[in-house]
Chains A and B, each alone.
Chain A
Amino acid sequence: MKRVHLSSGKPVGIGIAVLCIAAATLLGMHVAHEDNAHPSSDSGVIDAEFVHIATTVGGRLVELPVHVNQHVHKGDLLYRLDPEPYELTVRQAEANLALARAEVENQKRLVAVKTANSIVAQDQTTRAQTNRDLAARTVERLSPLANHAYIPWQQYDQARVALHDAEVSLKQANQQSAAAQVAIGDLKSSLAAEAANQAALDHARYELRQTVVVAPTDGYVTSLQVLPGEILAPSQVLFTLIADDAWFAIANIREVNLSVIRPGDCATVYSMIDRNASIRGHVESIGWGVLSADTAGIARALPLVPREMDWVHVAQRFPVRVRLDHADPALLRLGATATVEIRHGAACR
Chain B
Amino acid sequence: MSRPSPLSATPLLLLAGCSTDAAPSFSLAGAYFPDWMMCAMFGVASAVGLRVIFVVTKIDSILRFRLFTYSALGVIVALSIWLIWFGP
| A residues neighboring B (CB under 8 Å) | 2-3, 6-7, 10, 12-14, 16-17, 20-21, 23-24, 27-28, 30-31, 34, 37-38, 40, 42, 270, 272, 275-276, 278, 337, 339, 341, 343-346
Contact = CB atoms under 8 A, between A and B. Distances in A.
B75 A13 contact: no
Residue from B21, B27, B71 with most neighbouring chain A CB atoms (10 Å): B21
B65 A31 contact: no
Contact of A34 (B25, B68, B88): B88
Interface of B: 19-27, 32, 34-35, 60-65, 68-69, 71-73, 75-76, 79-80, 82-83, 87-88
Contacts of B22: 270, 275-276, 278
Given A27-B80, A275-B27, A13 B65 contact: yes
Contacts of B32: 42, 272, 337
How would you classify the secondary structure of chain A's contact residues: helix, strand, loop or mixed?
Answer: helix
Contacts of A37: 88
B63 A7 contact: yes
Contacts of B69: 16-17, 20-21
B65 A344 contact: no
A79 to B, nearest CB: 37
B82 A31 contact: yes
A28 B78 CA distance: 10
A6 B76 contact: no
22 contacts: A12-B62, A16-B62, A16-B64, A17-B64, A17-B65, A17-B68, A21-B68, A24-B75, A27-B79, A27-B80, A31-B87, A38-B88, A40-B24, A270-B23, A272-B23, A272-B25, A275-B22, A275-B23, A276-B23, A278-B21, A278-B22, A341-B24
A280 to B, nearest CB: 12
Given A272-B25, A275-B25, 18 more contacts: A10-B62, A12-B62, A13-B63, A13-B65, A16-B64, A16-B69, A17-B63, A21-B68, A23-B72, A24-B75, A27-B75, A27-B79, A31-B82, A31-B87, A34-B83, A38-B88, A272-B27, A276-B22
Contacts of B26: 275
B62 A276 contact: no
Contacts of A6: 61-62
Contacts of A343: 88
Nearest to B22: A276
Contacts of A38: 88
Nearest to A18: B65
A339 B25 contact: yes
A276 B19 CA distance: 8
Contacts of B35: 42
Contacts of A339: 23-25
A87 B23 CA distance: 57
Given A272-B32, A339-B23, A13 B76 contact: no
Given A27-B79, A272-B27, A20 B64 contact: no
A78 B1 CA distance: 76
Nearest to B36: A35
Given A13-B62, A14-B65, A339-B25, A24 B20 contact: no
Nearest to A337: B32
Contact of B76 (A16, A27, A42): A27
Contacts of B60: 3
B62 A21 contact: no
A16 B63 contact: yes
A20 B73 contact: yes
Contacts of A40: 24
B76 A20 contact: yes
A28 B20 CA distance: 21
